Amino acid sequence: MALFGCFRFKARRRKRALEGRRVEVSSEEDKGARIFSAKEVERVSANFSRSRVIGYGGSSTVYLGKFPDSSLAAVKTVDAGGSNRLQGIFRQELEILLRVKHDNIVKILGYSEEGTLVLEYASNGTLRENLQGAKGSFLTWKNRAKIAFQIAGALDYLHRHADTEIIHGDVKSSNILLDSALNCKLCDFGSAKFGLSSAAALPPSSRRMIGSPGYADPHYLKTGIASKKNDIYSFGVVMLELITGLDAVSPDGGGGGRLINRVGHMLKDVSKVAEMVDRRLLGECELGEAMAMASLAALCLSEPPSLRPSASDIMESMRNCVASLSSMDKN
């Protein structure tokens, strides 16, 4: 009973926090997204019920939203008491999601001016959960190749085809959602940069905002120069996860820590690629395709960044080396 009372108190505190903060968004940016009232958000999230929590971010919580017509959504809200910096991150993510439209980028359904995003719901969770078996599913080699191709397509759109160049800034397997058909949805634009030139130096205070451990581009960490190549590096790490089935960072800190340290020596010798392929794929994975994918991952991780391919180049290479992708469209 005491626990219930404590949680109810937290819900009231969240409500007061929501009522005390409003986010201004220019009307020309709405582009058809619905504006929800605070009460509507509370209703679809069952008053931010703990039983509806489906994910956490560094400073946000994601709830399963249920509408009267039984349709579902992901309701992402900045944690109560969020600072001005966190509110700025929310506004930035909202602005970007209102700008973009791509099949492999999570779609915004609406938002509330109190700091909540209402997003399309991807029923199969994150790529990381699926690779680690947390969803009770298994991703075949064909599934994994398709997901890699779709992520590259989403990055190509952000880097070249959106109305302004966008650097995602935090490409990782836990920011890649999978829908019921195992199509990917790139999400979480809280670390994104947009409106930059192809390479721009950011002040030291901003450097910690791009990338996650195991995925962050070492060149960016050293120089503070944000560019599309940061995303390509992170994509290379995700490709290694898809090939190996291993985490980008060893959970226990052992095994060399970062995945690139654990398998990097194998990338230098294609004859050793078979040793790094996820054991669960044995008998199904075409070794020639795995070798080509590993070589492509190595290119994405190249130093200096100028040696890394563009997202468009990655897609073209994948079409040429993976039979199941030969007829796939860029978008």
Q: How many residues does the chain have?
A: 331
Distance CA 26, CA 30 (A): 7
Distance CA 254, CA 264 (A): 15
Catalytic residue among 156, 170, 217, 231: 170
Distance CA 25, CA 108 (A): 14
Helices and strands (DSSP H and E) totals, the chain: 12, 12
Which residues, at least 6 apart from 42, have a Cβ–Cβ distance to it below 8 Å? 15, 48
Q: Are strands 60-66 and 72-78 parallel, antiparallel or unpaired?
A: antiparallel
Structure tokens at 50: 């703990």
Distance CA 234, CA 297 (A): 10
Q: Residue 118, SS3?
A: strand
Q: Is 170 a catalytic residue?
A: yes
Q: What is the DSSP string of 20-37?
A: T------GGG-TTPEEEP
Question: 167-202 in b/e burial notation, b at 16+ Cβ within 10 A?
Answer: bbbbbbbbbbbbbeebbbbbbbbbbbbbebeeeeeb
Phi-psi region of 327 (alpha: psi -120 to 50; beta: other; left: phi over 0): alpha
Distance CA 50, CA 189 (A): 24
- Which residue numbers belong to the known binding site? 76
Q: What is the DSSP string of 280-301?
A: GGTTTS-HHHHHHHHHHHHHHT
- Which residue numbers belong to the known binding site for ATP? 76
Q: Residue 196, SS3?
A: coil
Q: Kindly list the catalytic residues.
A: 170
